[in-house]
Amino acid sequence: MTLFGRLFRQAKAEAAAAKASGASRRGERGAVAIMIALTAVVLLGMVSLGVEVTAVLMKHQQMQSAADAAAVAGAVALAASSPSGYEMEARAVAGQDGFVDGVNAMTVTVKSPPVVSRTWAGNAAAVEVVISQPQILPIAAIIYHGDWSVSARGVASVGNSASSCVLSLDPSTGVVITGGVLVNLNQCGLASNATGASALSVSGGATLNAGSVTVSGATSVYGGAHLNAPVIKQNQPATTDPYAGVAVPPWSGCTKGSAGHPYTPGYKGSSMSPGVYCGGLTLDGGGTNTMSPGVYFINGGVFQIGNGASLTGTGVTIVLTGSGNNYATVAINGGSPVNLTAPTTGPTAGLVFFEDPKAPSGKTDTISNGATVTVVGAMYFPTRTVSYGGGTKTGSPCTQLVAWRVTFTNGAWFNNNCASTGVASLGASSSKLVE
């Protein structure tokens, strides 16, 4: 029984005793006065207790707002490649709201990954902030003699400050980087929609340097390999294909070549115009070839560049299409320098290579084997595996690779300076509250 309850019951008993003993009317009035006074004390105490509880609730609300804001600030800092600065940033934001660790018995704890046993515990792509402080409640202490403390917890997931430049769409088989190769994804990340234990596999002494890694499953790094990324997000939802809604432009007939007989400009190369190249297009033997701006349809066969032949073109989209089982593939190798830039406007904006989504799976497009490939734009192969290993040591300012499956077999350097190129953003996300 509470103190107020005991006092009220005692006053009532005294009043009854006075009446039973034949006390004077004056004594009865005195007993009633005592009851009124004690009742007033009880009511005053209840009001005071209500004020204390309200103050505690307001304090908790303030703490929660501060913890949430601090968690998001820490996640933003971590996404900006500040693995050592996220804690400082979170504490600074909490301090702006008046919650400073060590002041007035205040505790501000910042952790990544979160340590409280909930959904995001142990996830390195999240920041947890817990704020707590003991409270002094004189009235409530009469009822409960234990410690009174208020605490709040906020957890924010780390976003990708820049979009990815490599995406593997296959939900079963992930990205493979092996054989001692070096893959540099500057200012951008790698995403894999594979859900298994090897959504990204880096092995055999290979090294991947990336701004972020986002996979639907888990990463696997072994055999002396290295994965260097400030943000690694595992068990994530599939990254959306930004080109899934792009339609293949209409085409018909044959401008050059025929089924089984690819167009071959010759040893000295040529200047080419947009059109339909049936049976494939072969650039071979060291010639210098230039593509005028426009859309080039490769109808079946192979788009092949080798033996030192070069290719340049600005405002160019190469559509790999066909019919039945004969859809065009790509084979660029043999030390061939390639410099292609996508159109910045129009139905194929941002796309340099555009595989027809109707193309059957099971084939591999090869962009490697000693070729020096500089692509300003996207290479889109939604149903095929791409074996990639071309690229200069600095890379083009904007290169994006989206394929069903991706394998890196040689060095690659991608950059993400894609403003005004027509290239779609791939997997960019903001840091946000999750708990």
Blockwise average pLDDT, block size 10, the chain, 435 residues: 49 56 55 60 50 72 91 83 77 92 91 86 88 72 61 85 87 93 90 96 95 93 93 88 95 94 83 96 87 98 90 97 96 87 96 97 85 90 91 78 93 89 83 83
Residue 276 and residue 139 share a domain: no
Show which of 129, 157, 185 is a domain's final residue. Answer: 157
pLDDT of residue 22: 52
pTM for this predicted structure? 0.71
Domain edge (last residue) among 157, 180, 208? 157
- Given CA atoms 161, 163, 167, 170 in this order, what sign does their dihedral have? positive
Domain carrying residue 57: 27-157
Identify whether 60 is part of a domain. Answer: yes
Q: Please report the pLDDT score of residue 368 as a whole number.
A: 77
Q: How far apart are CA 339 and CA 275, in angstroms?
A: 19
Shared domain for 270 and 149, answered yes or no, is no
Q: Are residues 124 and 266 in the same domain?
A: no
Residue-level pLDDT at 14: 54
Same domain, yes or no: 141 and 244 = no
Residue ending a domain, among 141, 157, 173, is: 157
Task: Flag whether 83 is in a domain.
Answer: yes
CA atoms within 13 A on the CB side of 101: 14
Residue 294 lies in a domain: yes
Residues 145 and 280 occupy one common structural domain: no
Q: For residues 70 and 92, what is the distance between their CA atoms, to the nearest angstrom?
A: 8
Task: Give the total number of structural domains in the chain.
Answer: 2
